[in-house]
Structure 1
Amino acid sequence: MREPPRSRSQRQSARRAHEFESFVAGTAVRLLRTATLLTAEEPAHNPRARRLLAYALAHTYAVWDRLHDDDPYDHARALLALRFARTAWYPRQLPRIPRLRTRRTAAPPAGVLAALRPQERLILTLRMYEGVAEEQCAALLALPPERVGEICDRACANVLHPARGSARGAGAGPGTPRGGTEAALP
């Protein structure tokens, strides 16, 4: 005997919600870490990263039934990366309202990747932390693969060997290379 359509749709909704809850339980921590690396915030205090994650998960849930054979993690990661790219490269200009001046301003990024530009952080995070192939990263960001490779190489060099004026290389004294604690090379 056929069940009424309403109870079937309720079961489908419950199944969908359960599947999505399982997905979030398994991937939210890694996606939050990715968002934290993108925003260059401290892991303990990362409101921008949490907003990026909430956006990505909300949109993933909205298209959950249409993902069929697609990997939902890849979809959520792509949404996270694209939202970061859009907000970092084209920040929204808020109108000047007197009550906004009384609010505390956001602290500058202080994370591991804070010295990098947003595009460098995005590509370095996708390539090194997430393990996305150069071609996939290029397709996602609409850049040539050679450009993605160049940006990734430059970002790696900047992280491994920060400039003297940066926060990581500030302890360098005369005669010591960039890091401050390494022995000078002949």
Structure 2
Amino acid sequence: MNELNEKESQAVEEETLQAEEEHKEEVVVEGNAAESEEEAAEDEGTAAQKEIEDLRNRLLRTQADYDNFRRRSREEKEAAAKYRSQAVIEALLPVIDNFERALLVKPETDEAKSLLQGMEMVYRQFQDTLKNEGVEVIETVGQTFDPHLHQAVMQVEEPEFESNQIVEELQKGYKLKDRVLRPSMVKVNA
């Protein structure tokens, strides 16, 4: 019986050792699983953090795009208001030219003088209205030639003028605020 007890005792010991080893393996596996779960949670947290940062950057870019759009729209509206009368004024420039030619006529009768005075009054009123809209005549004679403001149609040699200086204006030029409506046609000294 002793032998039987010894065998049983040995079998119990082996089972105990085996159970302990299995328990150790389970603890290691559980530990590894816990570590894997922690790493997975950290990876998820990092991924979520990256996604949050990406969404934040996209939001900031969208907000900047919207602000730029609003600024451009405001500038376009201001420019449209600033130059709203440009098309009408450009259409009236030939009328102004004809008015000025008519005013150069020398009247011979009292009736013609009276008509000329009336035309001068209308012309001055017309000029005042254009000035109130921001229309200016481009200065020419005696000025240095500027290709942005003047159109040289002739080049002459005049000793009393410096080189590249405007000698004569052939047709008036006009600006609307800071925009050239029509450049002045001029003769330039060589």
Query: TM-score range with shorter-chain normalisation?
Result: under 0.3
- Compare CA radii of gyration and give the structure with the larger one: 2
Higher relative contact order (CA 8 A, sep 6+): 1
TM-score by length of structure 2 reads 0.23
Q: TM-score, with normalisation over the residues of structure 1?
A: 0.23
